[in-house]
Amino acid sequence: MKVSIRGKELELKHSFKAELIFETAENHTFNGTSTKDWITMFYCTVLSSNKDDDTWIKFNDFVDWLDEDDNGTYLYDFITSYTEHAVALNELRQAKKDEEEKKGKSKNAKGAKN
């Protein structure tokens, strides 16, 4: 997802760095149950996606930017992007788990035949 904030173009990337920034700031893991959590995670993702300087925009300035004109739609785009990313990761984890279980059953079946 690309976003332009106060003249700075960023390609947002969902990352462990953003998760860590969030957890450090909020003292809990992200669960997406409040507007504050979503705005904070969006902000943390913006910070972690800017390789040059992770202090270029303060949280209050970021919220002010969200409140300007139609910038609030970026939040909804972020929520969609984040959710799609989380679902894809979960599907990958499940596929890996299923494959490991399948290999385990196949090894057990071979051992039983011997």
Judge whether residue 109 has pLDDT over 80. Answer: no
pTM confidence score = 0.80
Q: Which domain holds residue 27?
A: 2-86
DSSP state of 2: E
Chain position carrying tokens 């090894």: 107
Query: Quick one: average pLDDT of 19-48?
Result: 95
Q: Evaluate whether residue 62 is within a structural domain.
A: yes
Q: End-to-end CA distance of the chain: give it in Å, rounded.
A: 54
What total number of domains does the chain contain? 1
Q: Evaluate whether residue 38 is within a structural domain.
A: yes
What is the Cα–Cα distance from 107 to 111, expressed in whole angstroms? Answer: 6
Q: What amino acid is encoded at 113 in this protein? A: K
Confidence class for position 22, pLDDT limits 50, 70, 90 = very high
For 46-66, write each residue's pLDDT tens digit.
999 988 776 789 999 999 999
Q: Evaluate whether residue 104 is within a structural domain.
A: no
What is the Cα–Cα distance from 83 to 77, expressed in whole angstroms? Answer: 10
What is the Cα–Cα distance from 26 to 93, expressed in whole angstroms? Answer: 26
Q: Evaluate whether residue 99 is within a structural domain.
A: no
For 64-106, write each residue's pLDDT tens digit.
999 998 898 999 999 999 999 989 988 988 988 888 888 887 6
